[in-house]
Amino acid sequence: MTGALRERFWERYTLEELTTPEWEALCDGCGQCCLLKLHDEESQELAVLNVACRLLDTHSCQCSDYENRFDFVPDCTQLTPELVKEFTWLPSTCGYRRVAEGRKLAGWHPLLSNDAERVHRKGVSVRSYAVSQDDVPENQLESHIIAVLPM
């Protein structure tokens, strides 16, 4: 796959200029955006849970059916350059957010390390703490809040 990627594309092109394979490769595989969130319209806050979307493989931190995900999770969002700027809740580590903000990728990013496990060893991914949505009753979701962010 790397053959389809332009050399150090993340430093030379904007998000809007990336090819589809480059766009996909920019994801570091942390799985943080697949954690469930609770919106509080009144307080304008967003609570992030340690509960992952039911399609997330909580070990690999990859979507288990990426191609067909919208059939099962209609509210899953296809990230776009515009949404990367809009989604202030994306973690500061996120590859898309870094490029959008003109920051460098971290050394542990798979594009630099050639090691998809580093994001897990570094503790950036959700592997060590995420539980699947299928294992948490709906009425217990609030007890799984791990962060509260402004919307």
The binder of ligand SF4 chosen from 47, 55, 99, 105 (CB under 6 A):
55
CA 115/CA 86 separation, integer angstroms: 29
CA 88/CA 136 separation, integer angstroms: 26
Maximum separation of any 2 CA atoms in the chain, in Å: 48
Nearer to ligand SF4, 13 or 23 (CB): 23
CB neighbour class for 49 (10 Å; exposed up to 12, middle 13-18, buried from 19): buried
Secondary structure (H, E, C), 4-35: HCCCCHHHHCCHHHCCHHHHHHHCCCCCHHHE
Of 3-11, 12-20, 55-63, 140-148: span binding ligand SF4 (CB under 6 A): 55-63
Binding of residue 63 to ligand SF4 (CB under 6 A): yes
Of 10-18, 94-102, 110-118, 136-144: span binding ligand SF4 (CB under 6 A): 94-102
Scanning the chain, the segments in alpha helix (DSSP H) are 9-12, 20-26, 69-72, 81-86, 95-100, 110-113, 118-121
Nearer to ligand SF4, 43 or 103 (CB): 103
Supply the minimum distance, in Å, between the C-beta of residue 42 and ligand SF4: 25
The binder of ligand SF4 chosen from 15, 18, 25, 34 (CB under 6 A):
34
Supply the minimum distance, in Å, between the C-beta of residue 53 and ligand SF4: 3
Chain residues binding ligand SF4 by CB under 6 A are 27-34, 53, 55-56, 63, 69, 73, 76, 79, 90-91, 94-96
